[in-house]
Amino acid sequence: MTAKGGHAAEVSISDLSELRSLSAYLGRVPGVAVTRMPRTTTNGGLGSWDVLQIAVTGGVPLMTALRRLPAFLRSRRPGVAVTVKCGGEVVTLTAENVGEVLPVLEAMLDGKS
């Protein structure tokens, strides 16, 4: 998933009432564009949910935006999770596991550069 002049990832959150806050939070990062997109369920599921498309340009690393996720998660109620999909790989971060998962996410994105 690449964007013109940079990289992109799809980000979703377990609590949809927090999606707007997450979008605004990540959108404050210079060089980062955040677009809210509908995503239809798969495997015969009904309905849809929104995801955020995070795109970076001008040489800004995607991790610049994603490194902000730990602070966002710690400021939310327990149990809120953020899922990041880049290419075919997916990782889920919570306030409890972010120390372990953030390095995995970073390594995953290094392979996409």
Size of the chain, expressed as the number of residues it contains: 113
What is the rounded distance in angstroms from the CA atom of residue 79 to the CA atom of residue 36? 22
What is the rounded distance in angstroms from the CA atom of residue 73 to the CA atom of residue 61? 21
What is the rounded distance in angstroms from the CA atom of residue 38 to the CA atom of residue 67? 24
Domain range summary for the chain, segments of one domain joined by +: 2-110
Q: What is the pTM of this model?
A: 0.81
CATH class, 2-110 region: alpha beta
Tens-place pLDDT, residues 12-55: 999 999 999 999 999 999 999 999 988 766 665 555 578 999 99
Cα 88 to Cα 17, 75, 112: the distances in Å are 26, 29, 11
What is the rounded distance in angstroms from the CA atom of residue 8 to the CA atom of residue 35? 11
